[in-house]
């Protein structure tokens, strides 16, 4: 075997291993994440036939989380095994081998981006919105099938109890209701009513009282008639495609809406656009950062735990930083810079210590 054949074989080895492990870990992660999401929705699922629909509908959104972790593990697992088999010496002592591993990682990152970019900019937001709409519809259907004389927790902030239910063509009628709910501002309420009518997402209550049990100035108030909008309790996000629901927007929709919004909303829209770009930058750099970290911390024994820990740490840091930058009280132009600085700084620092070690 000549030198050229050896380097070609080394390139093929890493290329095949990266994608082999990526497909394994991506499949496992997407199955776990999507199944976990379905499990959380079980209280509002009245038919087993809807479970596969929810599972596949939420897969693009779950892929947004699975791809970064899977791509990190795909790089670290084969390199970690080379430490155990003492084959890593070729990376340390041959500059050509280092260049090959850089090249394979670069190509691997670019190919992963071909799938990741459409998910982040288009499919994940659409999946998120469609999934929320489906959950809302299931919750409405579940509401009409509730059993009397039982407490029903329709969401983490809404519980209902009633003595009897009467189904009409246009609405549902409940007799002797008890409601326990919590609003987004933290206010908690107990509502008792003799009758209630459900029309669309509006629950109309007659002859009862409402008690506030969380504010500093607690009160009890009687009413002859009052209305409660159930949409915030059946669906955590506002279902309409409003400015507050930027995560439901595709990148194309964000750019289209940017110039038609008020100043404060325009700032959020611009930052959401930069957030999507920063997600792509993180994904491009994650395989390189994973490469540097495994070369720094791998041991001459099982490195699976090190790979899992470092991959999880990278993803957790990227997720936290991407979701907290917007809260900075600065102009949108300056805040946008902080979306891009962390992945670049993380990349430079990890490369510096990696380069220092192997030299």
CA nearest 283: which of 9, 10, 90, 26? 26
| Distance between CA atoms of residues 255 and 263, nearest Å | 15
Rounded to an integer, the average pLDDT of 295-300 is 82
H/E/C letters for each residue in 269-320? HHHHHHHHHHHHHHHHHHHHHHHHHHHHHCCCCCCHHHHHHHHHHHHHHHHH
- Whether 184 has a pLDDT exceeding 50, the answer reads yes
Query: Which one is predicted more confidently, 155 or 204?
Result: 204
Q: What's CA 19's distance to the chain center, in Å? A: 23
Question: How many Cα atoms sit within 13 Å of 73 on the Cβ side?
Answer: 21
- Whether 88 has a pLDDT exceeding 70, the answer reads no
- The predicted structure's pLDDT at residue 2: 65
CATH 3.40.50.150 fits 147-234, yes or no: no
| Distance between CA atoms of residues 87 and 80, nearest Å | 10
Q: Tell me the percentage of the chain whose pLDDT exceeds 70.
A: 81
- The predicted structure's pLDDT at residue 58: 82
Rounded to an integer, the average pLDDT of 215-234 is 77
- The predicted structure's pLDDT at residue 22: 96
- Whether 240 has a pLDDT exceeding 60, the answer reads no
- Whether 238 has a pLDDT exceeding 50, the answer reads no
Q: Is 179 helix (H, G, I), strand (E, B) or coil?
A: strand
- The predicted structure's pLDDT at residue 313: 93
Query: Which one is predicted more confidently, 141 or 113?
Result: 113
- Whether 340 has a pLDDT exceeding 70, the answer reads yes
**What mean pLDDT is reported for the chain?**
82
- The predicted structure's pLDDT at residue 92: 64
The verdict on pTM exceeding 0.85 is no
- The predicted structure's pLDDT at residue 283: 96
What DSSP state is assigned to residue 121? I
- Whether 243 has a pLDDT exceeding 60, the answer reads no
- The predicted structure's pLDDT at residue 233: 66
Q: Is 329 helix (H, G, I), strand (E, B) or coil?
A: coil
Query: Which one is predicted more confidently, 28 or 211?
Result: 28
- Whether 47 has a pLDDT exceeding 70, the answer reads no
| Distance between CA atoms of residues 204 and 191, nearest Å | 12
Query: Which one is predicted more confidently, 219 or 321?
Result: 321
255 contacts 317 by C-beta, under 8 angstroms = no
Segment among 11-20, 81-90, 191-200, 290-299 with least mean pLDDT: 81-90
Token pair for 59: 């897969």
Segment among 64-73, 121-130, 274-283, 336-345 with least mean pLDDT: 121-130
Query: Which one is predicted more confidently, 48 or 195?
Result: 195
- Whether 100 has a pLDDT exceeding 70, the answer reads yes
- The predicted structure's pLDDT at residue 63: 92
- The predicted structure's pLDDT at residue 137: 67
| Distance between CA atoms of residues 110 and 264, nearest Å | 35
Rounded to an integer, the average pLDDT of 216-222 is 77
| Distance between CA atoms of residues 289 and 279, nearest Å | 15
Rounded to an integer, the average pLDDT of 277-297 is 93
């Amino acid at each position: 075997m000549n030198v050229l054949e050896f380097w070609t074989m080394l390139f093929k080895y890493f290329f095949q291993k990266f994608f082999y492990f990526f497909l394994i870990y991506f499949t496992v992660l997407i199955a776990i994440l999507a199944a976990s999401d379905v499990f959380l929705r079980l209280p509002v699922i009245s038919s087993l036939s809807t479970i596969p629909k929810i599972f596949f509908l939420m897969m693009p959104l779950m892929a947004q989380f699975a791809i970064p972790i899977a791509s990190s593990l795909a790089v670290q697992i084969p390199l970690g095994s080379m430490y155990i088999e003492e084959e890593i010496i070729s990376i340390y002592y041959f500059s050509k081998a280092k260049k090959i591993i850089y090249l394979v990682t670069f190509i691997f990152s670019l190919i992963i981006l071909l799938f990741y970019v459409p998910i982040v900019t288009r499919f994940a937001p659409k999946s998120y919105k469609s999934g929320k709409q489906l959950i809302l519809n299931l919750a409405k259907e579940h509401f009409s099938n509730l059993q009397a004389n039982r407490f029903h927790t329709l969401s983490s902030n809404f519980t209902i109890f009633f003595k009897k239910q009467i189904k009409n063509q246009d609405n549902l009628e409940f007799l002797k209701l008890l409601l326990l709910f919590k609003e987004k501002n933290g206010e908690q309420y107990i509502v008792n009513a003799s009758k209630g009518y459900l029309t669309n997402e509006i629950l109309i209550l007659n002859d009862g009282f409402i008690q506030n049990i969380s504010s500093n100035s607690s009160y009890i108030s009687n009413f002859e008639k009052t209305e409660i909008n159930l949409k915030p309790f059946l669906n955590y996000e506002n279902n309409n495609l409003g400015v507050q629901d930027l995560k439901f927007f595709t990148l194309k929709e964000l750019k289209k809406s940017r110039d038609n919004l008020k100043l404060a909303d325009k700032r959020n829209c611009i930052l959401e656009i930069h957030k999507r770009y920063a997600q792509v930058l993180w994904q491009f750099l994650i395989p390189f950062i994973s490469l540097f970290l495994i070369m720094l911390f791998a041991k001459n024994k099982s490195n699976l735990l090190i790979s899992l820990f470092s991959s999880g740490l990278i993803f957790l840091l990227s997720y936290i930083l991407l979701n907290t930058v917007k809260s900075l009280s600065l102009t949108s132009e300056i805040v946008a810079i902080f979306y891009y600085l962390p992945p670049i700084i993380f990349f430079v620092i990890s490369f510096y210590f990696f380069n220092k070690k192997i030299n």
